Structure 1
Amino acid sequence: MPSPQAQALTRQFQQQVLNVAELIARRLRITAMRADVANIDDWWEKISPQVQQEILTGQSALARLARGYLQQHAALEGVALAPVVIEPDPEQIATALRVSGPVAFKTQMAISGNETAAARVMASQLQGAATRLVLEGDRQTTMRTFAERGEVEGWRRVAGRSSPCPFCLMLIGRGAVYSKETARFQSHDRCSCKPELLYRHEPEPPEVRRLSEQWSQATSGHSGKAAIEAWRQHVIGQRQGAAAP
């Protein structure tokens, strides 16, 4: 596993990028709660260029910050690294925001017929999507660097919160990834995890080994979606037990 200094740098940087992403996402939620629900398409057409630009700017900023972080992180591990900084994809951002914005609003309206409820759903989905999209600046830069730089051997998923969701815990428990062919980081809206690069094959840390053992026990006899559901129930049960007096 990375040195204590490198791990500390990762935690510090992770909090920094989360603060930026969540600030932008909160502003978007506030904007969405002020939507003109009587004419959602016109409202979106007016505000979407500004919203998209803010996401683009945030993602670009985190990609540049990731370059400095990756260079420092590698140096702490005794490696000279030239990170590969990604360029945001405006079309991808526009599509994700539209689906989380007016499309989500209309979908909820078809279900409930309640404009207030539909606006809340839209605001929540836009907030989650914005967090994920802005964080892609860091995540994609890290993963592109892993894929294209021979100095990097692998990567490990690092949780950004004290209580990551069952999905993220499942992925953390799978341990480090060393194959360049699997240079993909799975995330979801509001996910706070990030990839941390590795420069040599290393033993899994104790917390990852514990998660792997728990997964094997909790999902014994299950596969596919049934295994994932068994794992989710296991995590929920653990947390409820820990919270009980």
Structure 2
Amino acid sequence: MPSPQAQALTRQFQQQVLNVAELIARRLRITALRADVANIDDWWERISPQVQREILTGHTALARLARGYLAQHAALEGVALAPVIIEPDPEQVATALRVSGPVAFKTQMAISGSEAAATRVMASQLQGAATRLVLEGDRQTTMRTFTERGEVEGWRRVAGRSSPCPFCLMLIGRGAVYSKQSARFQSHDRCSCKPELLYRHEPEPPEIRRLQEQWYTATAGHSGKAAVDAWRQFVAGQRTPGEGAP
């Protein structure tokens, strides 16, 4: 594991970027709840340029913060590191927001016929998508640095909250990743996890070994989707209702 000082820096930085992403996402949720449901397409056409600019600005800000964090984190581990520079993809952001916005509204309208319900669903989906898109500034910077810098040996998934969802727990339990060829950080809307870089191969810490043992016990005799379902049931049985929901 990284040193206690490096781990503390990661926790501090993780909370900082979550605060930024969640602030932007909450503002977008409020905007969506005030949507002109009589003509959702015209409403989206009016507001989407500003929404996209805010997401892109947040993404860029977190990418810049991530570069400073990564250099400091590496220095605490005795490594000199030059983090990569990444730029957001405006087309990808525009598509994700449109799917979470007017497309989600129309889909829910077809299901329920309720403008109020459709507006709530759209607001929730936009909030989740905005959180993920802004946090990509940090995550993409970290993962590109991993793949492009020889000083970095691997990375480990770190939970941002005390009770991560079953999906994130499953990925955390897989332990450290050292393959640069298959490097990919999986996240979902509202996911608060982040990758933390490693500069040497290391044994899995006790908490990861416990997760792995729990996975093997919970999923014994299952594979594929059945194993994931068994894991979700196991995690749900260990928690109070609502705890750790994604």
Return the TM-score normalized by structure 1: 0.98
1:238 equivalenced with 2:238 (yes/no): yes
| CA deviation vs aligned residue, 1:68-106 (integer Å, no higher than 9, x gap) | 000000000000000012100000000000000000000
Q: What amino acid is the match of 2:188?
A: H
Gapped regions of structure 1 (runs ≥ 5): none
Distance 1:209 1:196 in 2: 18
1:109–1:118 CA contact under 8 A, matched in 2? yes
Q: Which runs of 4+ in 1 moved over 6 A?
A: none
RMSD: 0.9
SS of the equivalent of 1:182 reads: coil
1:41 Cα deviation (Å)? 0.0
SS of the equivalent of 2:239 reads: helix
Residue matched to 2:126: 126
Distance 2:70 2:56 in 1: 21
Residue matched to 1:42: 42
Residue matched to 1:60: 60
| CA deviation vs aligned residue, 1:140-191 (integer Å, no higher than 9, x gap) | 0000000000000000000000000000000000000000012110000000
1:10 equivalenced with 2:10 (yes/no): yes
1:22 equivalenced with 2:22 (yes/no): yes
Gapped regions of structure 2 (runs ≥ 5): none
Residue matched to 1:156: 156
| CA deviation vs aligned residue, 1:35-60 (integer Å, no higher than 9, x gap) | 00000000000000000000000000
SS of the equivalent of 2:156 reads: strand
Q: What is the identity percentage for the equivalent residue pairs of Structure 1 and Structure 2?
A: 89
Residue matched to 1:202: 202
Equivalent residues in 2 for 1:160-199 (5 A)?
160-199=160-199
SS of the equivalent of 1:204 reads: coil
1:125 Cα deviation (Å)? 0.1
Equivalent residues in 2 for 1:76-95 (5 A)?
76-95=76-95
Distance 1:99 1:213 in 2: 38
Residue matched to 2:217: 217
